[in-house]
Amino acid sequence: MVMEDIDLGDRRVLIDLIYGPQKIDEVVKTPPDSSQPLTTPAATPIPNKETPKKIKAKKTRKDCPFSTVVLIILLAIFAGFLSGYIGYWITREKYEAQLAALRGMTGVRRNTTQIIVEEEPYEEEEPPVGPTVEELRLPDALEPVWYNGTLKMYLPGYVELPEGKNFTTDGNIMIRLAVKKPTDEIVLNAKDLTFPTDVNKVKILTERPASRARRQTMVDSPEMKNSTEDGMANSTREKLKNTTGTSGGIPIDEMEIVEDEPVESPVKRLMLVEGGPKVKKILYNSSLEKVFFTLDSPLEAGTSVVLQLPFNGRIPDNLTGIFFSSYKKVDGDSSLLAVMDCQPASARKLFPSFDEPSFVAPLTLTILHPNGTTARGNAMEITDAEPTSDPLWVKTSLDVARSLPTSSTGFTLTNFDKAQTTTDTGTKIRVYARPEAINLTGYALDTSVKAFEFLQKYLAVPPRSTKLDVFALPELSKEAMCGDGLILVREDRLLYDPQVDSIETKVQVAQTICHEFTKQWFGNVMGDSDLKALWLNEAMAKYMEYICVENIFAGLDKNSLQTVDSMEQALLDDARSSSHPMSIEVVSPSGVTLMSDEITNDKGAALLRMLNAVIGEEKFQRGVQDFLKAHHDHSDNTEKQNLFDAWNNVVLDLKSWDGEKLNVGDFIDKWIKQMGYPVVEIYRIDPHTVELTQRRFKLDHLTPEKAKYRNALYWYKWDVPIFYQLNGKPQDMVWLHEAIRLPLNVSDEILINPDSLGFYRVNYDDEGWAEIARQLELDHTKYSPSARARFISDALALAEAGMLPYETAFAVISYLPKETDYLPWSVAVTALDNFYNRLSDSDLEESANEFVLEKLTPIFKLIDLGSLNFDNGDDFLASTTRRRIAKLYCKLSPDVCNEKLSNQFKKNLLAQCDKNSSIASACSKVPSIGRSMVYCVGVAEGGDKDFKKIHELSRDEVNTAERTRLTEALACSKDPRKLRNLLYESIESEDGAVRKSNVQQLVTAMNDQLVGAEIITDFVLDNWKELTNRFAQDPGNLQAVLGNALDLNSEREIKQFERFLVDHKATTRDLDALKSQLETARNRQHWLKANRNTIKDLLSSNNNEKEL
């Protein structure tokens, strides 16, 4: 056994390693759980082994070095300490059991229902194909001080362009470089860019020595004061202003970018001239995404030079980096736009740069663009659409964008209209949308002002940017993204029509705005000096999102919203082997991308809420304010306190589990540096005492973690804050480190984590769960809605993981027909849908169907399906839960729903759109919150004519949200031929109903339908090459598509998919979504084998009771 195969969190493995494995015939009466103290094993005599007599050798004297003696002594001390530590744990349980017997106690009871499964042998991760991380990283000999770029954008559709120039760019970039180490090579990131073959067009410029008079005028300039190595590396906006004498940075006055003309000195005070080293060779390596400039002599450490570099690029349609998109106008014509997104590794597609998160520098950008378009970027415009000597072209010069990683760089080139306002503190907020949709931006603009004013008051400092531009884009690879001063949002997350849209859409728009606005304060402040802290960027934005939305919607509870919106999903995702720690070493742009996935967002927000509950809202807020104020007041100093230091400075009287002052960083480290989370187990050990212990909660016992995460830094143990109630009254928080005992009389009732403030699950003992089930059946309102939601979520998850009998879990949810509150129901709907899906391909499907419908029927009867009254005024949670209840009920009992929904489809969609308009968003009279259900049933129950009509409406639709609903409806067809054609359309053409940005929604919807699920997996596997080619430049979107496109329901399908992964190893090895799907499928098959008989008996018993 090698150390990498050992789970260091399992003490039994450690004991076997020391004492040897247990004999087969040896009997252990009660197998201990890995989280409890272990019984000392019976001493086993060491068997005598006959050994041959040793031949007496001639004695020779050997000297033992003093260092060896010291080493032996230290090893002996360590071995003694280790044996004492292990001895404590392996004797603890036996000692406690004997003590309990002497006192007449009830022995500690452990739940023995967990399915103990040996993990399948796993293959170690193979070394990656292609460049290593070290090869991809830039050398550290140079650092950027500032960038100054000019771009000419050849976007067709506005003016006549030169032949061959459509969707291309010409560029010229000037980069001031601080030389940290001697080097004869300049290396920059670049992707899909071309460079001159003539090395003389690439220039190395140096500063011309100034005359005495000129030196006198420059003596007080920041450039002179900061000519040290550190000063150069931390150039700021003010430095560039003083360097150039203007607010525009270092202007390149309408330079013809690729023509070989003499370049005037681009600096007004710093006279730059050619001199020193020259470029003798240019090499572009597409695999490394780098361009190398070899010099004829080395640059000296401590100096600085300016690299001037012309280049050419292109504007593809892949939704990543710089890309073009289009939208349809009401008259049927299309308009084009170009976007530079704000994502890791995107800037290298726009201009050559130091495109790694550790390199920061200010940027000045000038854009030459076709007349009739508007250019916007991170910084405010100095000149906007200024005429040039060519009437077809205009120039927009942007102010200096502050020092940021290139991943924050973004700009747009559109013909959009805008709605704007100015806040009380002078920040300009502008919302841009296509001209036909500008009237739908009013709510977004109003919410933006509210969110901005709330955040500025809560955080007590202004944002860095003096303006915020928010763009509603028809297509985007994510729902939203932002850079400094620029926010890009997909239309369906920003536009709101009060005549059509529901409260659900309204809250989602507010969530998006609050989330992205928060980043304008935090942005890249966290992680400047420690890239492992980048997770805080997304986590803080997600957490503040709920606080901000609660401020906007007075009746919305932030804790309830966060629980159902993100925490429950985080508990599910982080319980799988495919999860990952939140704080990892960031060595490449892909590492930054991993920092912004759902686990990081949702779990990070939950951890911040837990921290808030530990230290209190006042200290939490004060720590955040102090942190931001320190960074705001000292923008040039990145070596300053981190956020955890700020919290430590305000948390002076709070103790940790060991009685010492709480160190916030140490507490959080245990939650972010290892994946997963604990389940807190509570047992009564005598009539007056309960004991709480912890162990890792894991849904999947089959699949091992990635090798690099397997042996967790803290052995999968956490410092757990226990929030609890006694007899309905909140108690002071206590710490759980290893185990803790609390006084509790038999007549008392304890509830752990009833408000979901802690990121963990709770497993009560048998009597505890039985009492909860009895009380829920008797009067469930004794417990708060949040407590009831916690019971449902934990009971069913524990049963799925094999840590709780399904008999107990079913007893807990048996009260659901009496439940009327939407917080517990929001959790229950997800759990019941999951339970049914696990049995849908088995012989228990019919019984499972009846079981779930029995729970849903009373609450479903409160919904008027004929009028689709899902919308419950301003109660967001009630509205969205009513819609989800109706969707699940109609999925299981279509006969009850189809007639009413089909009538809505015919009366309020087909009839209206046939006579009024071909744009569904304009002609449909179906309430928006119910449109997805109505459209789906209409297609499923309709004929060829209905399918064709929806296909046409989807192709012609101008509203992104409505187009998505129509595309998803097409997936509801019961005709396999139509579905396959639709899938082919999704990977072959942009002209049809399915655009690239809609493929994920299409496959998700298809996988949720009976017929669609039968063909989707085979289609993906059979058309793998075409699918990967479609998303070759958009791996994030490909991951999202694959995460929803596979449906493996049998051992045969799993084995087929495993063979596929082996056969296509080169193109699948980096797609974690496939590994996650395989893990889920294996776990589902094992779960069915392990639980089928038990669940069959329970469902039969339930049916019998119903008949009685």
- Nearest Cα neighbor of 116 from 825, 695, 553, 694 is 695
Tokens coding 790: 């916690």
Cα dihedral 64, 68, 70, 75 sign: negative
> How far apart (Å, rounded) are the C-alpha atoms in residues 194 and 167?
14
Q: ∠ CA 1061-1062-1068 to the nearest 5 degrees? A: 40
Among the listed residues 468, 385, 372, 386, the one whose alpha carbon sits nearest the alpha carbon of residue 423: 468
> Are 349 and 192 in contact, with CB atoms under 8 Å apart?
yes
CB 267 within 8 Å of CB 250: yes
CA–CA dist 908, 912 (Å, integer): 6
CA 485 to CA 378: how far, in whole Å? 5
Give the C-alpha distances (Å, rounded to integers) separating 428 from 216, 440, 466, 1075, 1085.
Answer: 39, 19, 7, 46, 56
Phi, psi of 325 (to 5 degrees): -140, 180
Residue 598: how many CB atoms within 10 A of its CB?
14
Q: Is 516 a catalytic residue?
A: yes
Dihedral class, residue 254 (left if φ above 0, else alpha if ψ from -120 to 50, else beta): left
> Radius of gyration over alpha carbons of the chain, in Å?
32
Q: What residue type is assigned to position 436 of the chain?
A: E
Q: Which of 143, 516, 705, 962 is catalytic?
A: 516
What are the start-end ranges of the H helices in 651-765? 664-672, 707-710
Cβ burial of 1107 (10 Å; 0-12, 13-18, 19+) is exposed
Q: Taking the CB of residue 890, how many other CB atoms lie within 10 A of it?
A: 20
**Cα atoms in the 13 Å half-sphere on the side-chain side of 148:** 24
Residue 353: DSSP 8-state? B
Contact between 793 and 571 (Cβ < 8 Å):
yes
Work out the angle at residue 465's Cα, subtended by the Cα atoms of residues 248 and 430, and round it to the nearest 5 degrees. 95
Is 515 annotated in some ligand binding site? yes
Element (H, E) at 174: strand 168-179
| Integer CA distances (angstroms), 454 to 450, 460, 548, 565, 602, in order | 6, 10, 7, 22, 22
Q: Which residue has the tokens 């499923």?
A: 940
Tell whether 951 is in a known binding site.
no
DSSP class of residue 203?
E
Beta bridge partners of 468: 429
Contact 937, 897 (CB under 8 A): yes
- Annotated binding-site positions for Zn(2+): 515, 538
Catalytic residue numbers, as ranges? 516
- Annotated binding-site positions: 515, 538
